[in-house]
Chain A
Amino acid sequence: MKNDDKKTKARRRFLAGGLGAAALGALAQGSTAGRRADRPVWQLDPYLCSQCGRCATECVLKPSAVKCVHAYAMCGYCELCFGYFLPGARSLDESAENQTCPTGAIRRRFIEEPYFEYVIDEPLCIGCAKCVTGCNTFGNGSLFLQVRHDRCLNCNECAIAAVCPADAFVRVSASRPYIFKGENDSTSGGLS
């Protein structure tokens, strides 16, 4: 029964699409509670990010305040996700040696034939962007990095911004603290 419930919920989420982004939006609201809405906070522009790995290594927090987020509305729910599987995966099962993520922070679950959902386990994510590169290279770019404001200290000088080779870090208003990848990209795959 419980399993069925979970499956139904997952399916609803899948069919709703975009709920991941919506959840991020809700979290954005929560994170701004108690903050002055006009106060600038750090964010990274996912369209500029070149996935250099510094978001994982340079943040003053360990693990980093930068996390992978997933635009469910864009995702193809592919059986074979190269954000999830290593390019040379020997078999397409969920064992650690087949996974792109070095910390096992992406969970894969079957939704309905032939769709699979990929969920980021944020506490495990270190913001390394390896899955982001895989998704950008072989998929449609629905995995991307964001500074999560429920943990970011909003340092005066962000240690990542100081070294980001893509100049992807910007100051944004605390009332709109995330830069989403949106519906308009839903089928882009880098081809547009």
Chain B
Amino acid sequence: MDEGRRTPAVVLYRVLVVAVIAGVLILLAVLIFRYSEGAHMNPYEYSIEEFMDVPEELLLWDEASVIELDIAQPAGLAVDAQDRIFVAGAQEVAIWNAEGTAAGRFSTLAPARTIAIGPQGQIFVASVDHVNVYGPDGSHESEWTSLGEGAFISGMAATDDAVYLADAGSKLIWRFDTSGRLLSQIGRPRPSADYHGFLIPSRCFDVAAATDGALWITNPGRLRVEKYSPDGSLDAYWGEPSMGIEGFCGCCNPTHLAVTRQGHVVTSEKGLPRVKVYEPDGSLNTVVAGPRHFAPGTVGLDLAADSMGRVLVLDGGAGLVRIFVRRSEEGKTP
């Protein structure tokens, strides 16, 4: 009976049905393959994978703890003489003690770009073009005049008698006294003296003051760090372009810096996010954290160093302050 049903028309019909089903399946597979992100191999991929690893013998710091931030758009990090930790964001400044316990917060008048603490505990909070000064209790004390249209303050340092603003817009360091009176500027190009000032291709420009009064300033377009006297004279510089760990990568690095109490210069970079410690003469001391420590695309790693020798890194994208401790000689975190 069954045999009798297999006429050529039935066979042809079955073959056609199978072919149509197979065709639909193939089409579906092709569409899924074509439209699925994972299946797409970019023949023009720009890869930095080979530069992501750091030699183990240089990675001598451990992330001992983190502070989880509950603050919108954290942009600036500072520590004071008591090692209290300050983070400034879009609307407020939050404060923790050295152990990472919340110690207060206050609202700011304008979204912050960067923060510095003065010797008397004054809290200088810089917005895009001007500074607001708050007392140690967070009360508003004064508002300084604007640096003008086009200003973009991206870094700040405070000493006993001066506040230095790194303005990525004008490519200058502005030196004020602690009451907000403009004293001088650092970085005006003098081509006749073969001095070209600061090259700032992007909003990465930072300044830090050492305990001996020296100023360390990034010159990111030159891929180097420069040392100035408070009067604005260039005393020294170092840094070389390199994807290798000893140099600075890309077109505008380092993005941030800090100075330890011992005089070491701590730098952070974008593109290959990494944090390193240099000797004052520019030789690489150690690596605090390499690119694999941070999410891809991490930028804006503001830095601070406290009296205990710890390096603090503001990783705003991750919503964290990462606190790094140098390993002891035996290779263990003290």
Interface residues of A, Cβ cutoff 8 Å to B: 51-54, 56-57, 75-82, 87-88, 92, 100, 102, 113-114, 128-130, 133-134, 137-140, 163, 165, 187-192
Contacts and interface: CB of A to CB of B under 8 A. Distances in A.
Interface stretch (B42-50, B61-69, B98-106, B276-284): B42-50
Contact of B203 (A81, A129, A191): A191
A79 B220 CA distance: 12
Nearest to A187: B203
B252 A165 contact: no
B251 A190 contact: no
A87 B200 contact: no
- A-B residue pairs, 3 tightest by C-beta: A189-B202, A76-B201, A138-B250
Given A189-B204, A190-B299, A191-B204, A134 B46 contact: yes
A189 B46 CA distance: 18
B34 A82 contact: no
B37 interface: yes
Contact of B43 (A51, A57, A133, A189): A57
B213 to A, nearest CB: 28
Given A114-B196, A130-B46, A138 B203 contact: no
Interface residues of B, number: 40
A165 B46 contact: no
A72 to B, nearest CB: 13
A137 B154 CA distance: 19
Contacts of A134: 46
Contacts of B230: none
Interface in B95-152: 152
Contacts of A53: 40, 42-45
Contacts of A139: 201-202, 250-252
B251 A138 contact: yes
A191 to B, nearest CB: 5
A137 B271 contact: yes
A137 B48 contact: yes
Interface string B249-263: 111110100000000
29 contacts: A53-B40, A53-B44, A53-B45, A54-B42, A57-B43, A76-B199, A76-B200, A77-B201, A78-B221, A78-B251, A78-B252, A80-B223, A82-B271, A113-B196, A130-B44, A137-B46, A137-B250, A137-B270, A138-B251, A139-B201, A139-B202, A139-B252, A163-B35, A187-B200, A187-B201, A187-B202, A191-B154, A191-B202, A191-B299
B175 interface: no
Contact of B251 (A51, A82, A165, A187): A82
Interface in B173-221: 191, 196, 199-204, 221
Nearest to B48: A87
B203 A87 contact: no
A113 B44 CA distance: 32
A52 B223 contact: no
A56 B203 contact: no
Given A76-B221, A163-B35, A188 B251 contact: no
Contacts of A80: 223, 241, 250-251
A164 B226 CA distance: 44
A130 B48 CA distance: 12
Contacts, number: 116
Contact of B271 (A51, A54, A138): A138
Contacts of A129: 44
A88 B46 contact: no
B250 A82 contact: yes
B202 A87 contact: no
Contacts of A114: 196, 199, 221-222
B300 A78 contact: no
Given A138-B252, A138-B270, A187 B43 contact: no
Nearest to A141: B202
Contact of A138 (B34, B42, B169, B249): B249
Contacts of A163: 34-35
B13 interface: no
Contacts of B320: none
A189 B44 contact: no
B40 A165 contact: yes
Given A52-B42, A137-B46, A163-B34, 14 more contacts: A52-B40, A76-B251, A80-B250, A82-B271, A87-B46, A102-B44, A128-B44, A138-B251, A138-B253, A138-B271, A187-B152, A189-B201, A189-B203, A191-B154
Contacts of B249: 87, 138
B196 A189 contact: no
A183 to B, nearest CB: 10
A23 to B, nearest CB: 21
